[in-house]
């Protein structure tokens, strides 16, 4: 879960960073257009230029605001890369219509815009935005030829068009390679996360029963002890041992013994609350951690478990089975070892008194 949240946070930061970079790029290109206009390379009425600028920046800032709004609300900040790119391509195409002499230089903005999608878009989206760019330039060229035939040079436009087409195809191929690489990395990261989750699960669970192991139990007990010392809360430990389990292994084999352990583990897991914890402490020994209750309530729960075990038949061999339990409540400020040792002694007492019973401090 923590890994997932970190990944989502990093993805949001990446989206914000790309959005800011796109805004910086748009600002620089807008300044270049103004310089070209002052030098006489962009032939447009100043009113029309202002209207084009206002329309572009209103749309651009609206997209930026949408990303930022979702980010501050802790929502998934959806990337606006595709919308930014389409909007910027339309803006560049309109400017190119009014540009003379240096149109081929300003066309480099197309390649800059498309490069922003290389690390974000899937290859189909990248291919689509490439076709959209080519179509936008073709429409711009058509209207330019229709309305500015005096400044139209077919030979030059053919050379520019072929060069531009080759560059776009190269970017399209590069975008597909980036997309495939990103998919492989995503798949590898997913596999690593799954493997890490399995390793973490194996580190804290018992392989046979699926219960928490002794190591994880001790970690949880230390945390519970700290809470109890700080807040004065209560918790109880039940040290459980299956009576004469060695006889089951000797007479019926370890496979049957494993079936008994698994069935008994399921019974324990079903008998406690979600806030409680059950652990296989070792062999046929189990420990219950019952939180927020005193020993009187815990005794009722454990006695119910003992009754259930006595009334059930285990494994395919329908084996009768009983358990002995040592039950004790944590007494601050003792150590967890002190509590466990007291529960162990109570369990031993239950064994000495004839088994199939709960002995409490």
Q: How many other C-beta atoms are found inside a 10 Å radius of the C-beta of residue 219?
A: 12
User: Is 204 among the domain residues?
Assistant: no
- Residue 2 pLDDT > 50, yes or no? no
Does residue 3 register a pLDDT over 60? Answer: no
Give mean pLDDT, residues 228-244: 95
Tell me how far apart the alpha carbons of residues 358 and 238 are, in angstroms, rounded to a whole number.
Answer: 9
187/266 same-domain check? no
The answer to whether residue 206 is domain-embedded is no
**Is pLDDT at 102 greater than 80 in this prediction?**
yes
Would you report the helix, strand and coil content of the chain in percent, each value rounded to 5?
70, 10, 20
Domain boundary among 132, 166, 199: 199
Q: Comparing 70 with 2, which gets the higher pLDDT?
A: 70
Q: What pLDDT score does 299 carry?
A: 95
Q: How many helices (H) and strands (E) does the chain have?
A: 12, 7
Q: Are residues 155 and 47 in the same domain?
A: yes
Residue 205 in domain:
no
pLDDT single digits (tens) 69-94: 766 666 554 555 677 788 889 999 99
347 lies in a domain? Answer: yes
Whether residue 8 is found in the same domain as residue 78: yes
Whole-angstrom distance, CA of residue 319 vs CA of residue 267: 15
Q: What is the mean pLDDT of the chain?
A: 86
CATH classification at residue 351? 3.30.70.270
- 29 belongs to a structural domain: yes
pLDDT of 1 reads: 43
Residues 138, 28 share a domain: yes
Residue at a domain's end among 165, 199, 233: 199
Residues 244 and 193 in one domain: no
Q: Is residue 208 part of a domain?
A: no
Structure tokens at 248: 């089951």
Provide, rounded to the nearest whole percent, the portion of the chain with pLDDT above 90: 52
Task: Give yes or no: residues 167 and 24 share one domain.
Answer: yes
Closest C-alpha to 252, from 343, 319, 195: 319
**CA 38 remoteness from chain centre:** 51
Is the residue at 209 inside a domain? no
CB-facing half-sphere around the CA of 301: CA atoms within 13 A: 23
207 falls within a domain? no
| Judgement on whether residues 147 and 29 belong to the same structural domain of the protein | yes
Give the C-alpha distances (Å, rounded to integers) separating 26 from 60, 84, 91, 105, 110.
9, 10, 10, 16, 12
Same domain, residue pair 17 and 155: yes
Q: From the candidates 157, 284, 303, 341, give the one annotated as an active-site residue.
A: 284
Give me the pLDDT at residue 124, please: 76
Cα 228 to Cα 233: distance, rounded to the nearest angstrom = 5
Distance CA 358, CA 360 (A): 6
Q: How many CA atoms does the CB half-sphere of 194 hold within 13 Å?
A: 6
Task: Inform me whether the pLDDT recorded for 151 exceeds 70.
Answer: no
Query: How many domains is the chain partitioned into structurally?
Result: 2
d(Cα 124, Cα 111) in Å, to the nearest integer? Answer: 17
Rg, C-alpha atoms of the chain: 36
Q: Is 101 a catalytic residue?
A: no
Structural domain span for residue 291: 214-360
Q: Are residues 16 and 79 in the same domain?
A: yes
Statement to judge: residues 173 and 229 lie in one domain: no
**Residues 126, 116 contacting (CB under 8 angstroms):** no
Q: Rounded to 5 degrees, what are φ and ψ at 321?
A: -150, 150
Calculate what percentage of the chain has a pLDDT beyond 70: 90
178: pLDDT strictly greater than 80: no
Q: Are residues 91 and 186 in the same domain?
A: yes
39-48, 168-177, 335-344, range with the lowest pLDDT = 168-177
Place of tokens 């352990």: 261
Cβ-Cβ contacts under 8 Å for 177 (sequence gap 6 or more): none
Same domain, 239 and 316: yes
| Residue positions counted in the chain | 361
Q: Is 43 helix (H, G, I), strand (E, B) or coil?
A: coil
The residue among 199, 234, 267 that closes a domain is 199
């Amino acid at each position: 879960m923590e890994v997932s949240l970190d990944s989502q946070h990093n993805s949001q930061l990446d989206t914000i960073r790309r959005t800011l970079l796109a805004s910086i790029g748009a600002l620089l290109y807008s300044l270049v257009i103004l310089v070209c206009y002052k030098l006489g390379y962009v032939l447009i009425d100043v009113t029309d230029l202002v209207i084009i600028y206002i329309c572009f920046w209103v749309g651009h800032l609206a997209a930026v605001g949408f990303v930022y709004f979702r980010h501050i609300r802790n929502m998934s900040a959806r990337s606006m890369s595709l919308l930014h790119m389409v909007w910027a391509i339309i803006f560049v195409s309109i400017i190119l219509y009014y540009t003379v002499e240096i149109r081929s230089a300003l066309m480099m903005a197309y390649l800059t815009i498309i490069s922003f999608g290389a690390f974000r878009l899937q290859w189909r989206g990248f291919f689509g935005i490439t076709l959209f760019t080519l179509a936008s330039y073709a429409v711009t060229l058509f209207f330019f030829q229709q309305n500015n035939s005096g400044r139209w040079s077919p030979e030059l436009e053919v050379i520019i068009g072929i060069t531009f087409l080759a560059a776009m195809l190269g970017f399209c191929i590069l975008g597909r390679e980036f997309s495939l690489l990103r998919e492989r990395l995503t798949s590898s990261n997913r596999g690593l996360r799954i493997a890490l989750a399995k390793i973490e699960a194996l580190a804290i669970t018992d392989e046979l029963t699926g219960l928490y192991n002794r190591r994880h139990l001790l970690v949880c007990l230390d945390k519970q002890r700290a809470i109890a010392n700080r807040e004065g809360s209560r918790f109880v430990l039940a040290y459980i041992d299956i009576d004469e389990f060695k006889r089951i292994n000797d007479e019926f084999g370890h496979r049957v013994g494993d079936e008994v352990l698994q069935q008994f583990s399921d019974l324990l897991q079903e008998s406690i609350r979600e806030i409680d914890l059950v652990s296989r402490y070792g062999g046929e020994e189990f420990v219950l951690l019952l939180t927020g209750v005193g020993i009187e309530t815990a005794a009722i729960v454990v006695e119910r478990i003992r009754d259930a075990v006595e009334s059930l038949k285990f494994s395919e061999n329908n084996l009768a089975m009983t358990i002995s339990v040592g039950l004790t409540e944590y007494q601050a400020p003792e150590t967890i070892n002190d509590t466990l040792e007291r529960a162990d002694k109570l369990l031993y007492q239950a064994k000495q008194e004839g088994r199939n019973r709960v002995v409490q401090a």
